[in-house]
């Protein structure tokens, strides 16, 4: 029985699994997206998202905690320098898993895991919608009546000018 065992062991011993996840996390930080199996992508998501959360606050303690997991200081520096400012306002969900189909050789389910804010296809700048509220309609009608009043006053002025010419 596997009651309460939430970690997918991925068919590896503990040291091998931790090293593999650290290497995959470094590759993800470096390339911003990697292709792997779905099971490894899900395990990597659980591994890397707390590290990204820690990187949002740049303190010596957080750098040491992240370094203990990643074990490569240049990727720790890149995480704190480049990735953290870009995702600073996001409250969570820093990675996205996109399923790609099955691998040709062994029919394994493949997926692409990527950092969300680095995908230009999904992050096109969309024009912001104006919030429509009941008050906004009242204000809009006031503006239209004000513009209508100015138009009628302009027409009256034009008529007076025409009458003066005659």
Token readout for 2 is 């596997």
Residue pair 69/25 in contact (Cβ under 8 Å)? The answer is yes
How far is Cα 80 from Cα 66, in angstroms, rounded to an integer? 10
Domain ranges of the chain: 14-118, 128-166
State the pLDDT at residue 122. Answer: 72
CB contact set of 12 (below 8 Å; sequence gap of 6+)? 20
pTM of the model: 0.72
Packing angle, helices 14-31 and 38-55, rounded to 10: 70
State the pLDDT at residue 121. Answer: 78
State the pLDDT at residue 155. Answer: 62
State the pLDDT at residue 119. Answer: 82
State the pLDDT at residue 120. Answer: 77
State the pLDDT at residue 142. Answer: 60
For 14-118, the fitting CATH number among 3.90.1030.10, 3.40.50.1820, 3.90.79.10, 3.40.50.720 is: 3.90.1030.10
Q: What is the CA radius of gyration of the chain?
A: 29
Residue 95, phi then psi, degrees to nearest 5? -120, 160
Own/partner contacts of 63-70, CB < 8 Å, gap of 24 or more, are 69/22, 69/25, 70/22, 70/25, 70/26, 70/29
How far is Cα 77 from Cα 52, in angstroms, rounded to an integer? 12
> Which portions of the chain are predicted below pLDDT 50?
none
Encode burial over 56-85: b for 16+ CB neighbours within 10 A, e otherwise. Answer: beeeeebbebbbebbeeeebbebbbeebbe
> What is the DSSP code string of 98-117?
EEEEE-TTT--EEEEEEEGG
State the pLDDT at residue 13. Answer: 97
State the pLDDT at residue 134. Answer: 66
How far is Cα 84 from Cα 81, in angstroms, rounded to an integer? 6
């Amino acid at each position: 029985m596997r009651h309460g065992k939430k970690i997918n062991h991925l068919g590896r011993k503990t040291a091998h699994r931790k090293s593999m996840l650290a290497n995959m996390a470094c590759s993800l930080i470096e390339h911003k997206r990697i292709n792997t199996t779905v099971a490894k992508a899900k395990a990597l998501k659980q591994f890397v998202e707390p590290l990204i959360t820690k990187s949002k606050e740049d303190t010596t303690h957080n750098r040491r905690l992240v370094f203990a997991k990643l074990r490569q200081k240049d990727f720790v520096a890149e995480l704190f320098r480049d990735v953290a400012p870009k995702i600073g306002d996001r409250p969570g969900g820093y990675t996205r898993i996109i399923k790609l189909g099955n691998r040709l050789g062994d029919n394994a389910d493949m997926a692409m895991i990527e950092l969300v804010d680095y995908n230009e296809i999904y992050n096109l700048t969309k024009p912001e919608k104006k919030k429509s509220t009941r008050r906004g309609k009242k204000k809009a009608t006031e503006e239209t009546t004000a513009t209508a009043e100015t138009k009628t006053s302009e027409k009256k002025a034009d008529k007076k000018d025409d009458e003066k010419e005659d």
